[in-house]
Structure 1
Amino acid sequence: MASLESITLHGHPGPNPWKVSLLLDELNVPYTTKIYKTPELKQPAFLALNRNGMAPVIEDPNEGLLLAESGAIMDYILDQYDTEKRITFTTLPEQYHMKQWLQFQTTTQGPVMQGVFHWTFVESNPEAHASYVKNLRRVLQVLNDELAGKDWLVGGKCSAADLSYVPFHSKLDFIMRDAAPDVEKDFPNVDAWYKRMLERDTVQKMLKDRDEATKKLSIPGKK
């Protein structure tokens, strides 16, 4: 790959921006990260980047592109920079099975976990919380069934599909608290898959970078 200018990734400590950083690290694309507190996303400086006031957003000087929405950003990075197909595929049906599982992450795993977070930390509604917890267990079962007898979601290798689930899954115990399942017992295929993911240097880097970003944004005297 020719020499590239550094992409700017605008993010926050929540899971979605770290899906993007994982892909960039896997593909050795240079980037810098700017982390925002949640209220800053609604300020004029950030709204100039994304009118919706949500992260992530990337600025790619190599193509003069400003782009929001994690799914669109991931599609762009894979199309533009995975020229060697390290984490994507050239063959059918793998190309579209990967897209299928990327969509499931974006439309199901992510929103369901965000719902559990909301009813755990933001508002108290035991009925809503129980409903989201039940749905999250269903999501885990779907993934567990898909991973039966294989190491990765698609095509016999770790792909963008697998990587997309890690930032949310890594927060499972934190988000679910007392409702967290015994993943090793209840969803053994997911447990084995996640342990394989943790062996990747890029995943370890993402977890470390996210922890450091969270600490930098913490308010003194509060947890």
Structure 2
Amino acid sequence: MEEKLLLPIKVYNAPHGQGPNPWKVIIVLAELGLPYEIAWIPYGEMKSEPYTLLNPNGRVPAMVDPNRGGAGGVTLWESGAIINYLIATYDREGRLRYGDDRLEEKWLLQSWLMFQMSGQGPMFGQKVWFTHLHIEPNLRTAIDRYGNEAKRIMGVVEATLRKQRQKLQAEQQAEETPVWLVGDKCTYADLAFVPWNTLLDTVFPRSDAGMTLDLAREFPEYNRWHRNMAARPAVRGVLAHREECIRTMTNTSFQVVERQADAAKLPEYEPSVGVGGN
């Protein structure tokens, strides 16, 4: 089937769109030049049917691809699984992956994707929860634990990017040449980190003197890596759309916070890191 004949792939997201995980999928779709549409489902409707028929976990994203499978298309949930599907199904030219001619690199991308799913997302998310949403304010043991874990995750990425930089220096490449997690190009594994990275000023708010982050000083390669990805045309377009959604849509996560006994209030919006000059 030719790409020009493809129907839009539907990605379920929750307004106002600050939640990072759906945007991981949308970035990959945009980078591959695939048609897509966002289906907005309020947070208050995610834990019941009909949405749980698509995603039994009751979270976003879910994806429906009408171009494959039977009459109902292919339905998937969990951002990592969706990304793997999109890459396997549509990245025929190897834009965001490596092939069997670079077998180790092909599979090493999976290690990094799983690391993003099991490390960056959960640790950043827990840091946001205990910093901003937890009913007991200033719970330092939890804030410090997840803050230190978030920085440890970033340190793993930083160390890898530094090794990649050293390889380029040995090859006498220019200092401004981008470095990537695996091999010599930006892949889906790199891009999976972008949406959570944009929230770093929320993860580490400047108002919390006990757990600060100076990204450019503490993790300089990580900072350059993120900003290089955020400057890619497809990524820049997606992140600009996300900013517009945040600016114009009602934040339905208030519905969830109001009914959770362990939640206090949502964090103040912080401009996305690496977007629009930030």
TM-score computed with the length of structure 1 as normaliser: 0.94
Query: Any idea what SS the aligned residue of 1:53 has?
Result: coil
8 Å CA contact retained: 2:98, 2:105: yes
Q: Work out which of the two has the higher radius of gyration on C-alpha atoms and give 1 or 2.
A: 2
Indicate whether 1:138 and 2:147 are aligned: no
Q: Which runs of 4+ in 1 moved over 4 A?
A: none
Residue 218 of structure 1: aligned partner: 251
Task: Give percent identity, aligned residues only.
Answer: 33
User: Pick from 181, 184, 206: which aligns with 1:156?
Assistant: 184
Question: Which has the larger share of helix?
Answer: 1
Q: Once the 2 structures are TM-superposed, how far is the Cα of residue 52 of structure 1 from its aligned partner?
A: 1.4
Which residue pairs with 1:6 in the alignment? 8
Output the TM-score relative to the length of structure 2: 0.76
- Aligned partner of residue 217 in structure 1, secondary structure: coil
One-letter amino acid of the counterpart of residue 106, structure 2: Q
Unaligned 5+ residue runs, structure 1?
Answer: none
Q: Distance in 2 between matches of 1:53 and 1:30?
A: 25
Aligned counterpart for 1:166 among listed residues 194, 201, 204: 194
Map of 1:75-114 to 2, 5 A cutoff? Answer: 75-90=84-99, 91-114=102-125
Paired residue for 1:194? 226
Check whether the contact 1:7–1:59 (CA below 8 A) recurs between aligned residues. Answer: yes
Of 22-31 and 201-210, the range deviating more from structure 2 = 201-210
Is 1:147 aligned with 2:153? no
Q: 2:129 aligns with which of 118, 137, 145?
A: 118
* TM-fit CA distance, 1:89: 0.4
Map of 1:65-84 to 2, 5 A cutoff? 65-84=74-93
How much has 1:51 moved relative to structure 2? Answer: 1.8
Q: Does structure 1 retain, via aligned residues, the 8 Å contact 2:194–2:230?
A: no
The letter of the residue matching 1:101 is W
Aligned length: 221
Segments of structure 2 that go 5 or more residues without pairing to the other structure are 166-178, 253-265, 269-278
Cα-Cα RMSD: 1.6
1:11-55 per-residue CA deviation (whole Å, 9 max, x = no partner) reads 122111000000000101101001233212123231222121111
